[in-house]
Amino acid sequence: MEKSTPTEPKKSNKSAVIISLLLVVIVIQSVKIYLDYKEKVQVKQQLVSTEEDLAGTMQRLNDVKNELDQKIADIQKLGGNIADLEKAKAEVEKELRRSTQRSAKAMKELKDRLDGYEQLLKLKDEEIEKLKSVNKELFSENKNLKTKQNKLSDSINVLAKNKEELAEKVAIASQLKAENISVKAVNSKGKERESPFRNRQIQKIKVEFNLADNKVAPIEGKKIIIRIIDENAQVIFDVARGSGTFMISNKEEFYTAAQEILFDNTKQKLIFYYEKGTEYAEGTYTVEIFTDTYKIGQTQFSVK
């Protein structure tokens, strides 16, 4: 019977060791693959979470910018101070222009600033309400003031109108009036005759009248004018004999004779002499008396 050789057990033990080592390697490798896979999944989940967090934060940032724009417009319209909002808006716009890749630390700082911006917006809501209240009060006060101003303006207008009407009444009341008007013909011997006249009796025409008493009229210098007008509405005038022109109803008119006097309210008598130099045509003549721009008296005489 043959005996087994001593090398066979040794080979068997060696194979078992190798197989054990291979199994250990396989287990280790499997564990490593599993851990690597799990780490990749965690990293991917973290990346997705970070991207979602960043997207949400950027959306919040964009919403804050829009709210800042609205608050700036509202407060500016209400007359409030927008300096701090303008500064916050510039910072938000700067953040929005930055790269979307941020570290965890940078993200935390950004979120903290976002919280601050949102708190600022809440405070501005309160400020806007206060400004609206103040503006409402100012509007009410301004409305009341305008009402008072309108009433005052109406009162002033009424006073001005009354004053103007009173001035017109005073002006009318202060107008002079000629009374006791008479027209006579004076011949070459100085003899006077009443109308009607014959041409041979007329060397000069004498117009005489008094200025009536007027307590309202001021004592002042006056220019008294007479006009002798024939039946054809033509004024008798001769510049060489003292005639001239004056304005009446915004129109320049001729006058026959004039005198400068001081009206002293003493019923003073005025006498005008006018020598025509030629014969008067037959007919009725009108004598008008003026001062300033209004008529103070009128009469007529006839020539046969």
Structural domain spans, the chain: 12-173, 178-303
Two structure tokens written together for 87: 């500064």
Return phi, psi of residue 204, to 5°: -135, 155
Q: What does the pLDDT look like over 32-68, one tens digit per residue? A: 887 877 777 665 655 545 566 677 777 887 888 898 8
How many other β-carbons are positioned within 10 Å of the β-carbon of residue 66? Answer: 10
SS3 183: strand
Range of weakest confidence among 120-124, 191-195, 213-217: 120-124
Average pLDDT, the chain: 85
SS3 277: coil
Under the banding of pLDDT at 50, 70 and 90, the label for residue 213 is: very high
Residue 285 pLDDT > 70: yes
Under the banding of pLDDT at 50, 70 and 90, the label for residue 166 is: low
For the whole model, what pTM was predicted? 0.50
Two structure tokens written together for 231: 């039946």
- Which of 2.60.40, 3.30.519, 3.30.70, 3.40.50 would CATH assign to domain 178-303? 2.60.40
Q: Are 196 and 301 in contact (CB under 8 A)?
A: yes
DSSP, res 197: B
Under the banding of pLDDT at 50, 70 and 90, the label for residue 1 is: very low
Interhelix angle 83-97/7-77, nearest 10 degrees: 150
